[in-house]
Amino acid sequence: MIRITKEFKFEMAHALYGYDGLCKNIHGHSYRMWVTIKGNVLEKNNHTKNGMVIDFGELKKIINDCIVDKYDHSFVLNKNTPHFNIDFSAFEKVFFLPYQPTSENLVADFAKIIMNKIPKNITLHKVVLSETATSFAEWHSDDYR
């Protein structure tokens, strides 16, 4: 069993409704996300993916399609946030999530999304989501056995 990890970067803004600190205000982060999958190395000499768990390019496409491209340069809010009749129609990437958009909730949601998109012969092992250089949340498959 081998683990491989790919890093992703995207920009996203959020506000934490009901929070008692500065993050209740609209602000953005330069997110970094590391996705680690595990699986067996393909051992088929005549196969184009011989020696790989998954092609890094395939993993990149999966994650970009389901997370990075969707959330890059977006604004996310808890759907329970009062919107004060603000018209968001002028903006393309505003998402109202069914949870508070903290790193903890985002990483758990991203892990669920990724698990449903990766090939069945590999397993999602870990997702790390960093919103600053010193703060990150981690999701580990070992915690859900």
Within its chain, how far is the Cα of 4 from the centroid?
Answer: 16
Residue 117: give the domain boundaries.
13-32+55-84+98-145
pTM assigned to the model: 0.93
Q: DSSP assignment of 51-71, as one string?
A: T-SS-HHHHHHHHIIIIIHHH
The residues of the chain scoring below 70 in pLDDT are 83-84, 145
> Domain holding 79: CATH number?
3.30.479.10
Residue 26 contacts residue 75 (beta carbons within 8 Å):
yes
Residue 43 lies in a domain: no
Residue 45 lies in a domain: no
Number of domains in the chain: 1
Residue 143 lies in a domain: yes
Q: How far apart are the C-alpha atoms of 44 and 50, rounded to whole Å? A: 5
Positions marked catalytic:
23, 73, 131
Q: What is the pLDDT of residue 84?
A: 64
Residue 73 lies in a domain: yes
Q: What is the pLDDT of residue 47?
A: 83
Q: What is the pLDDT of residue 90?
A: 81
